[in-house]
Every structure is written in C-alpha cells, then in structure tokens.
Amino acid sequence: MSSRRELAVAAGAAIVATAGDLLMLFVANAARPELALPRPPAPALPLGGVLGVAAIPFYALGYRAVARAIAPASRARARLVLAGGIGAAAIGAGIHGLTALAIRAGQAAGTASGSPVEAVAANGLLVAAWGIAALLVVVASAAILGARALPRSVAWLNPAVATVLLALAGLPGELGRSFLVPAAPNLAHVVFFCAALLAAPHERRR
C-alpha cells in the first residue's frame, strides 16, 4: 500500500473514531441535567463503541507512512514513530471499548451523572491505559517534531501538540469540556493525518 493511501485510510479511520467518540459522549452527557441534551437513541452507545474499536487500529498505517518518510534521514526516529504509533493505536482501541463499557455500567448503576473526564478519572484501569497511550503518543510525536524530513507544518501538527491545542480550545465552555476535550486525541489524529496526506508527494505510476 502506498504512503498516500495509508495516510488516507488513517485519516478516514480517525474521522470514524471521532464520530464514535461523539456518539459515546452524547450518551454520557445526556445523563447530565445541566446540559439539557435530548435522549440519545438506544443504538448510539454500542455503535459509538464499535466505530472506535474498529477504526483506531488503522492509525498504525498512518504512523507507518510517516515513519517511512522519516527513515531516509533518521532510522532511529522512524522506529520511535512506528513503535509509538502502533502501540498507541492498539491501546487506544482498548481504551475506546473500555470507555463504552464504563458508560454502560454507569447507566445500569444509575451513577452516570458526572462529566466524561471525571468518569475516566474514577476508573483506575482507564487511567492507567490513558497514561500508557499518552506516553506512546508523546514519544512518537517528539520524534515527528524533530524530524527534518517532514514539512514544519506537519511536524508541528503532530498528535500530541494537536491534542493539547484542541483541548485548550474546549476548556472555556461547558460543551467544549464535555465534548471537545475528551474527543481531542482522536480529532488530533484527523488533523495530523490530513496534514501529512496533503503534504505527501504524489507517487509516480510505473
């Protein structure tokens, strides 16, 4: 598979995963009276969970394409991008599925009334998984940021930086804190993979 095709698949997967995030967040936040959200349809939670679990592993293709672009200048950085990206994709899919199960458990117990961030913070397994995934993304992003083979616009839109910027944008308002902040990691991958795709050279047909 060509690098451009890998990046296109990864970008599409990130869009699908973000849609899954928003569906799950809609369900979680609908239990909060202060947001006055309509009641979500019954399939919203399972659909949101399946979308993310199925899509997030494809991030590995995007990281592989970026690693391939970096490799001629620095094989060490390329290996960090590939290892960090593949690890984050695998753990990220698990996080998404565990989050869907945690939301469902909160509904069944009648305790689903806090913000999504608070709910994650109260779950030790999710906190640990988020910590490991965040570390892997930071490692891959640091390697991307220092890679001279990539355009600066792509390097500076790496997943870690993009996540922070998106989360900061969501902090001022309650809807932003409820939807944009928790969805920022997957949305950041939409930004990064799309930027890398736009900057990738067109490959000549043989």
Residue 36 domain-assigned (yes or no): yes
Q: How many domains does the chain have?
A: 1
Q: What is the DSSP letter of 150?
A: S
- Cβ pair 29, 35 in contact under 8 A: yes
Residue 205 domain-assigned (yes or no): no
pLDDT at 164: 97
pLDDT at 205: 52
If pLDDT is split at 50, 70 and 90, which confidence band does 76 have?
A: very high
CA–CA distance, 206 with 199 (Å, rounded to integer): 21
Tell me, yes or no, if the pTM score tops 0.75: yes
If pLDDT is split at 50, 70 and 90, which confidence band does 203 have?
A: low
Q: Rounded to an integer, what is the distance from CA 191 to the centroid of its chain?
A: 10
- Cβ pair 78, 55 in contact under 8 A: no
Residue 140 domain-assigned (yes or no): yes
Tell me: the pLDDT tens digits for 147-194? 888 999 899 999 999 999 999 999 999 999 999 999 999 999 999 999
Tell me: the pLDDT tens digits for 119-154? 777 788 899 999 999 999 999 999 999 888 899 989
* Positions of E strands within the chain: none
Q: Comparing 109 with 13, which gets the higher pLDDT?
A: 13
Does residue 206 register a pLDDT over 50?
no
Residue 66 domain-assigned (yes or no): yes
Helix, strand, coil shares, percent, the chain, to 5: 80, 0, 20
Does residue 112 register a pLDDT over 90?
no
pLDDT at 49: 95
- Cβ pair 103, 52 in contact under 8 A: no
Arithmetic mean of pLDDT over the chain: 91
Q: What is the mean pLDDT of residues 23-36?
A: 90
CA–CA distance, 61 with 9 (Å, rounded to integer): 7
Residue 74 domain-assigned (yes or no): yes
Helix axes 181-199, 3-30, angle to 10 degrees: 160
Residue 204 domain-assigned (yes or no): no
**Domain with 177 in it:** 3-199
pLDDT at 106: 80
Residue 97 domain-assigned (yes or no): yes
Q: Write down how long the chain is.
A: 206
pLDDT at 118: 75
Residue 136 domain-assigned (yes or no): yes
CA–CA distance, 152 with 150 (Å, rounded to integer): 6
- Cβ pair 136, 159 in contact under 8 A: no
